[in-house]
Amino acid sequence: DIQMTQSPSSLSASVGDRVTITCRASQNINRYLNWYQQKAQKAPDLLIHDASTLQTGVPSRFSGSGSGTDFTLTISSLQPEDFGTYYCQQSYSTLVTFGGGTKVEIK
Amino acid sequence: VQLVESGGGLAQPGGSLRLTCAASGFAFTNYAMTWVRQTPTKGLEWVSTVSGTGESTYYAASVKGRFTISRDNSKKTLYLQMNSLRAEDTAVYYCAKASQDFYYYSMDAWGKGAAVTVSS
């Protein structure tokens, strides 16, 4: 199976900060990398698909980049509603795998 | 798009449960469907995917041989038959719609989840 490693596992940042989350795949996954946001007791929501394409309705402060094995999710100016846990997920393999998650807290 | 899971609950180790996901608001047959589960300790774990026709299925190693995914396109319904349940299958199970059929997809709509507890 393809292993997905996210870092950091948690972070605390202030409103307005630029926040970066990284995701590394154990092998080349081209650009088949998706990002989700999950809030407590809720289902995940798709933020970005295919590494850098913003899902409809997602604010433009979110962006994704990368290809191959290294990927980044960036929030350009953190807002209070951006708290939650963020997950990456690869769909290169039919055996889908998720990263371990990054919990974002607002200072 | 609306996905509504049902069928969760308490099961004994070695027992069975069947989860159901009723779909609406999209052309069900055109998309693969997935089950994803979540525990507090293990985060999100993909469980299984079925193609739009139902002919192709894939399973995580942790459930292969015990769980069966299927769909009834006439009823726009997805199923997960869970047999030989173990304590480590305790989780919230989400039904999710794939963005396409059947490769390189994202999960662009999710149900609210069904809680499954395996305990004696």
Partners of A46 in the beta sheet?
A36
Going by pLDDT thresholds of 50, 70 and 90, the confidence category of residue A84 is very high
Which of A3, A75, A87 has the alpha carbon at shortest distance from A38?
A87
pLDDT digits (tens, 9 = 90+) for A29-62: 999 999 999 999 999 999 999 999 999 999 999 9
Residue B104 confidence (pLDDT): 87
C-alpha closest to that of B79 among B69, B89, B87:
B69
Q: Do A45 and B110 touch (CB under 8 A)?
A: yes
What's the mean per-residue pLDDT of chain A? 97
A contact test, residue of B97, B107, B112 with most A CBs within 10 A: B107
Give me the mean pLDDT over the B93-116 stretch: 95
pLDDT in tens, B67-89: 999 999 999 999 999 999 999 99
Task: Give CA–CA dist B79/B57, Å, rounded.
Answer: 12
- Count Cα atoms within 13 angstroms, Cβ side, for A57: 3
Pick B110's closest partner by Cβ from A43, A97, A98. Answer: A43
Interface size between A and B, measured as CB pairs under 8 A: 59
Q: Cα Rg for chain B, rounded, in angstroms? A: 13
B34-62: b or e for each residue (b if 16 or more CB lie within 10 Å)? bbbbbeeeebbbbbbbbbbebeebbbbee
**Cα-based torsion angle of the residue sequence B20, B25, B31, B36 in order, rounded to the nearest 10 degrees:** -40
